[in-house]
Amino acid sequence: MSKILLIARNEYRTNVIKRSFLLTLLSLPLFLTFSIGIGVITDVLSTSKTPVGYVDEAGVIEVKHDYHSVLGDDAIEIRAFKSSTEARTALDLGEIQGYYVLATDYRTSGEVTLTFDKEVSQNARSDFYDFLQFHLMQSYPEPVVERVILGTQATVTTPYSGRSYPDGGPPFSVTLPLIISAGFVFLLMMSAGYAMGAVAGERESRTMEVLITSVSPGTLVRGKMLGIIGISLTLLVCWGLIGFGAFLVGRELLDLRWLKDAQVDWGGLVTVMLIALPNYISAIALMVMIGSTVAELQEGQALSGFFILIFFLPIYALTAIGDHPQGAFSVGLSMIPFTSLMTIGIRNLFMVIPLGQLLISFIVQGIVAGAAVWLAGRAFRLGMLRYGQRIRLRELLPRRIFSPEERVA
């Protein structure tokens, strides 16, 4: 046991002190920051607090009440002008974004003209539309006016499990398991290089011959895998802390509504974690197996890209899974190794996955993980002294599964 820990510690320290580890650590936060930042910048650019003006040639707007009582304090200032000339002057001076002119026959034609030099922001257009509605409905009771301006508040309910989404979108608690699933897939992408390099690099440089004089192949593989798991846990903990910090910033400083009443769907979270664990072990073991069988590290990196691609297949089938989360196709992807993690994360958005399906999936993933670890150990033993030679997959399987002719050959 001491040798396993010694190998694991060496593997951990060797990789963590590298500059590439810091880049790996920052890659996910930077990617998410960039993606979210683009959305925030786009939203900021499409929003402006500069007032907007109007000219009421039809005489339909009588300012008797404060429209902020219904539109809210965030509504922009809407200024009245006596004539288009006066409004044009204010626009030239940069006092307003633009101005609306209600035609004389507005009550029958509904004609409104918008004049601007630069595109009027979307929030200004929306606020003016609500402002106009507010004054056209002054003869109605205030609750009726408020109901019309606030619009429809739809609640979407899935037909499979009765999940209800206020305002038509899934809340943070239901989305979190899918976020965790995607995070684990990203973690596997980052860990794949460490897992393959743990054996391929030493096999290619022939330091493996020195190592096996001190420890057994099984001890060496277990130690290296334990070190890789330690590296992955370090990444996971750091990403979790960064994510929690981003959550607090979004909820407290940016006042994001989506995060205001955020709760944790512990059932969905535990489900994803149970499926993620054997998937992670399987992927790491397969990376070790590939690193042990290829002749060069570059060749192994090309093969690992193919395995990582399989994890993302459910994303391409998102529409099919969303339309029929309880269908045979969706259930089948939930059972298949490597596609199960993302599929279950997606299905969790639409339904509570039956316990029986989860148990079957977990058992299947566990069996595959055990087989992958066994194959990794066997590949390591066969390939540790075969410098510059590939190992075929059939060489890893027990000889008795082949026919007598194949065994003789």
Q: What is the pLDDT of residue 232?
A: 79
388 dihedral zone (left: phi>0; alpha: psi -120 to 50; beta):
left
Q: Which residue has the higher pLDDT, 399 or 277?
A: 277
| pTM beyond 0.75 | no
Q: Which residue has the higher pLDDT, 79 or 165?
A: 79
What is the C-alpha separation between 348 and 339, in angstroms, rounded? Answer: 14
Q: Which residue has the higher pLDDT, 277 or 398?
A: 277
What is the C-alpha separation between 196 and 148, in angstroms, rounded? Answer: 61
Strand (E) or helix (H) holding 165 = strand 164-166
- Taking only the tens place, the pLDDT of each residue in 121-151 is 888 888 888 888 877 777 777 777 677 766 6
Nearest to 60 by CA among 1, 99, 125, 112: 112
What is the C-alpha separation between 277 and 285, in angstroms, rounded? Answer: 12
Distances (CA, A) of 246 to 35, 136, 319: 14, 43, 29
Among 45-59, 160-174, 177-191, 266-280, which range has the highest average pLDDT? Answer: 45-59
Instruction: Check pLDDT > 70 for residue 206.
Output: no
Model confidence at 401, pLDDT cuts 50, 70, 90, reads very low
Nearest to 268 by CA among 181, 204, 331: 181
- Exposure string for 81-116, b = 16+ CB within 10 A, e = fewer: beebeebbebbeeeebbbbbbbeeebeeeeeeeebe
What is the C-alpha separation between 225 and 281, in angstroms, rounded? Answer: 9
Neighbouring C-beta atoms of residue 236, cutoff 10 Å = 15
Q: What is the pLDDT of residue 407?
A: 43
Mean pLDDT of 381-402: 60
Mean pLDDT of 111-121: 88
What is the C-alpha separation between 191 and 195, in angstroms, rounded? Answer: 6
Mode of pairing for the β-strands spanning 78-81 and 155-157 = unpaired
Read off the tokens for 408.
Answer: 């003789």
Contact indicator for 402, 394 with CB cutoff of 8 Å: yes
Q: How far is CA 241 from the centre of its chain?
A: 16
52-151: in CATH 3.40.190 = yes
CA dihedral sign of residues 232, 235, 240, 243: negative
Q: Which residue has the higher pLDDT, 74 or 390?
A: 74
Q: What is the pLDDT of residue 402?
A: 45
Nearest to 78 by CA among 58, 101, 55, 54: 54
Sequence ranges of the domains in the chain? 2-36+168-408, 52-151
Read off the tokens for 195.
Answer: 């897992």
Region of poorest pLDDT, from 45-49, 161-165, 320-324, 325-329: 161-165
What is the C-alpha separation between 229 and 296, in angstroms, rounded? Answer: 24
Q: What is the pLDDT of residue 100?
A: 92
Instruction: Check pLDDT > 80 for residue 219.
Output: no
What are 141's strand-pairing partners? Answer: none
What is the C-alpha separation between 402 and 286, in angstroms, rounded? Answer: 22
Distances (CA, A) of 334 to 76, 323, 337, 360, 399: 49, 15, 8, 9, 32
